[in-house]
Amino acid sequence: ISDARAMASSASSLEALEAALAAFEHCELKHGARSLVFCDGRPQARVMIIGEAPGRDEDIQGRPFVGRAGQLLDRMLAAIGLSREATDAESAVYITNILPWRPPQNRDPKPEEIAMLKPFVERHVELVSPDLLVLMGNISCQAMLGRRGITRLRGEWSEVLGLPALPMFHPAYLLRNPSAKREAWADLLELKARLKRGEA
Ligand code: URA
């Protein structure tokens, strides 16, 4: 972990951070994955979304949230006027994950994997320097807030690295539990309202 911290903190750009991850040899997951999945969207975006880990489609394409959950995420964002393709900071988003490599069979990340890779995520947030964070699902909350229990955490702003952070249900969870889309919609409206207030 001290290695990870040193490598992450010496990265002075997003390109350097991605290169540092590519050169990081201490995480087993790297050896079972096809791609390093670093980010998508616009670094100038006001909103940075932090998911869990690449799945099969993401591992193949090398981009986060491109499978079914990702398609739902895009629809959710579009409903409040955000997209990863937008070129203006107001409507753009930037997307990354806690883990840049797909865990075997999409198993949950282990706490020690999260701890090992967290310095990279923290540096990632610093370099993007968004106005606010969206934490997608339990793993993202566990990593960034040190707390699980998304049903209780969702919809309430917390502070992460000095930034407002909103936990939300993960789109993969919403695919399995469509009735939770009601809460997800409320959280999207809360996100939009905060962006509009400009106080983020
Ligand atoms: N789920 C995630 O949390 N991240 C992805 O990139 C894809 C699915």
Q: pLDDT per residue over 159-183, tens digit each?
A: 999 999 999 999 999 999 999 999 9
**Residue 41 CB less than 6 A away from ligand 1:** no
Domain boundaries, the chain: 2-197
pLDDT at residue number 199: 60
Q: Which two tokens stand for residue 193?
A: 């309202």
- Please list, residue by residue across 13-45, b when 16 or more beta carbons sit within 10 angstroms of its beta carbon and e when fewer do: ebeebbebbeebeebebbeebeebbbbbbbeeb
ipTM of the complex as predicted:
0.93
pLDDT at residue number 198: 82
Element holding 197 (H helix, E strand): helix 181-197
- Average pLDDT of the residues in 51-79: 98
**Residue 40 CB less than 6 A away from ligand 1:** no
Using a pLDDT cut of 70, give the percent of the chain over it: 99
Least confident of 1-10, 39-48, 76-85, 112-121: 1-10
What SS3 state is found at 186? helix
**Residue 100 CB less than 6 A away from ligand 1:** no
**Residue 65 CB less than 6 A away from ligand 1:** yes
At residue 51, does pLDDT exceed 60?
Answer: yes
Distance CA 124, CA 56 (A): 23
**Residue 54 CB less than 6 A away from ligand 1:** yes
Between 1 and 62, the more confident residue is 62
| Ligand 1 center from residue 132 Cα (angstroms) | 19
| Ligand 1 center from residue 100 Cα (angstroms) | 10
Q: Which fold has domain 2-197?
A: Uracil-DNA Glycosylase, subunit E (3.40.470)
